[in-house]
Structure 1
Amino acid sequence: MYIPEDKIRDVLTYESLIPVIRQALMDYSAGAVDQPPRSVLRVKDQQGEPSGWFAVMPAIAGEVMGVKTVTFFPGNSSSGLHTHMAIIELLRRSTGEPLAVMDGRLITEMRTAAVSAVAVEALAQPGAKTLGILGSGVQARSHIEALRLVWPAFREAGSIRIWSRNPQKAAVLAEETGAVAVAIEEASACDVVVTVTSATEPVLLGKWLSPQSLVVAVGAVGAQLRELDDEVMTGHLIAESRQGVERESGDAILSRAEVQAELGEVLAGKATLPASGRRVFKSVGMAIEDITAARLVWSLLESN
């Protein structure tokens, strides 16, 4: 059975996705998931110039196993194509029987925002009232939707401030979502700051942050890529995956910041957080998140 994006969009919601992602993160940190590091190949065009990358992400968990193949071609945006595209194959663990093949683009988009929503629920200070978004693309929009679901204060007028290197795109997104387009210093001073940029060098500076802020860093996946400067990285660092961040996050590698805990450990009560001070959550994406979302989509369609 092939499941295209339109059918996925019909059944997949953040209300159903966020709880299963939360459990998947705890399962991962508890050692209940078999997931090797993702394999990444750089892609060159016919002239030998780098044009994108191609990654393979397998995982086994519960009664299923699966693999996502995903591509990232930044030049696609100039021709109206998505920069990220993916396919997910879902199989029965007990027999290896293929259950479904489905488009993975929307799943990747939504599971990324769902992970951030779980992180904000667990890590943001209780009194957090403002959300800063650095970026104005697909992930900026999906994060606004997911975070408003789990944090009611972000539904209030003027609580979300958006900055982008493209001011026009920031203004459009702000108008469409009821947010406010602002300068980067103002967006960075919010209680929760989400970075969803395509930056290769730091855009978020620690001197702009409030002392008790939570930074949710989603962009800049790559050992030489950064969104955050060294001062940001002096905060208490929580990883989606310790192995993934230590292997794939330039923000952590180049600043030599040490991961203090995995999010799944915090959720399970196996790691404690300091009562005060900045917290930084770094997300690089994991196969178990994709397989969990694909399992949910498959089960929802099977039940209809």
Structure 2
Amino acid sequence: MIIINEKEVAELLTMEACITVMEAVLADLPDGGAVQSLRQVVPLADRNLLGLMPGYLRREGVAGAKLISVFPHNHDLGLPSHQGMVALFDAASGTPLAIVNGQAITAIRTAAVSAAATKLLAREDAAALAVLGTGEQARCHVEAMLQVRRISRIAVWGRTPAKAAALAAEMGSRWSVAAAAAPTAMDAVRGADIICTATAAVEPVLQGAWVKPGAHINAVGACRAHERELDTALVAGSRLYVDRRESAVHEAGDYLIPLSEGAITAGHITGELGELLTGRIQGRTDNSEITLFKGLGLAVEDLAAAFYIYKQAALLHKGTEIKF
């Protein structure tokens, strides 16, 4: 068995490669080629939690699980909000194959799934990007959006102005694109073609009244039934896609709260990203429609990323082998 650390994950799993891997595993979901259980969560003190996410990839012949801690206030301590590991097993023999750093996988694959959704749903001419949030996910989402659309302008907003300014400067320099911090979330999303929300918010930070017709939104922050980043009007006025219905109807406050208010019905979910990838459902219907992808993160995404990393590590002699 090999151990693959955070630095090695970042070296072995490029954003470009991860987008392709995510598209493949999500396309396997509708027909049962990728199998998973609903995530199990143990609530901890102060809104923190510990999660277990098991799954099985039939075509690849591997199974495993991600064990992850989510501590939303870790950013205030200079620590990542998501930390953990992915354990990978041979599905034929049950032999442990690898333990892979889960923090790096989570950051890259979450943004890669948003990129897959953006490829399918955003207008072809989308060029203005707004990012709400200043953490690792915000940074990765900038990279991911640049992979799938010709972004010419980036606006960043966060609850700490200095962090927003620092992220905007970093992204502008790294990607040679005009990037600036916005004083408010409303200012950030004004005129935006693509909006990515990657915050630790439990109440809406994005309102439908601020979003222009034709925009596409990737919402990946709130992941519990009582938490949301988007207001009811925005969700009700959007064409909604999810990574997995089962997850959304149990965990997505952005969907469940408007549903409980009677603003939408259970049929408001157009479908899963995998169904969109395989042509089972329709995507954007016109250039004025607002499309919304609500991503909660799936075990099969983590396993597919870990298996890709495992294969690359074997080819390039990376990782630390141990007797287990």
Distance in 1 (alpha carbons) for counterparts of 2:124 and 2:79: 39
Secondary structure (helix, strand or coil) at the match of 1:162 reads strand
Give 1:102-251 correspondences, 5 Å limit. Answer: 102-151=100-149, 153-154=150-151, 156=152, 159-178=153-172, 179-182=179-182, 183-189=184-190, 190-234=192-236, 235-251=238-254
TM-score, length-normalised on structure 1?
0.94
State the AA in 1 paired with 2:159. Answer: R
Cα offset for 1:261?
0.9
State the AA in 2 paired with 1:268. Answer: T
Q: Structure 1 residues 26 and 233 mapped into 2: Cα distance closer, same or farther (>3 Å)?
A: same
Match of 2:49 among 48, 53, 64: 53
State the AA in 1 paired with 2:254. Answer: D
Cα offset for 1:31?
2.3
Please tell me whether residue 6 in structure 1 is matched to residue 7 in structure 2: yes
Deviates more, 1:73-82 or 1:85-94: 73-82
Query: Residue 193 of structure 1 contacts residue 214 of structure 1 at CA under 8 Å; is this kept in 2?
Result: yes
Distance in 2 (alpha carbons) for counterparts of 1:240 and 1:51: 24
**Structure 2 residue runs without a partner (length 5+):** 173-178, 317-324
Counterpart of 1:47?
Answer: none
Cα offset for 1:231?
0.9
Cα offset for 1:103?
1.4
Secondary structure (helix, strand or coil) at the match of 1:6 reads helix
Counterpart of 2:275?
Answer: 265
Counterpart of 2:321?
Answer: none
Aligned residues: 295
Cα offset for 1:274?
4.5
Counterpart of 2:322?
Answer: none
Aligned alpha-carbon RMSD (Å): 1.2
Distance in 1 (alpha carbons) for counterparts of 2:217 and 2:47: 30
Distance in 1 (alpha carbons) for counterparts of 2:102 and 2:128: 31
Identity of aligned residues (%): 36
TM-score, length-normalised on structure 2?
0.88
Distance in 1 (alpha carbons) for counterparts of 2:231 and 2:136: 24
Distance in 1 (alpha carbons) for counterparts of 2:7 and 2:312: 14
Which 4+ runs in 1 deviate beyond 3 A?
Answer: none
Q: In the TM superposition, what whole-angstrom CA distance separates every residue of 1:66-86 from its partner, at most 9, and x where no partner exists?
A: 110000123433333222101
Counterpart of 1:73?
Answer: 71
Counterpart of 1:300?
Answer: 312
Counterpart of 1:279?
Answer: 291
Q: Structure 1 residues 284 and 51 mapped into 2: Cα distance closer, same or farther (>3 Å)?
A: closer
State the AA in 1 paired with 2:16. Answer: E
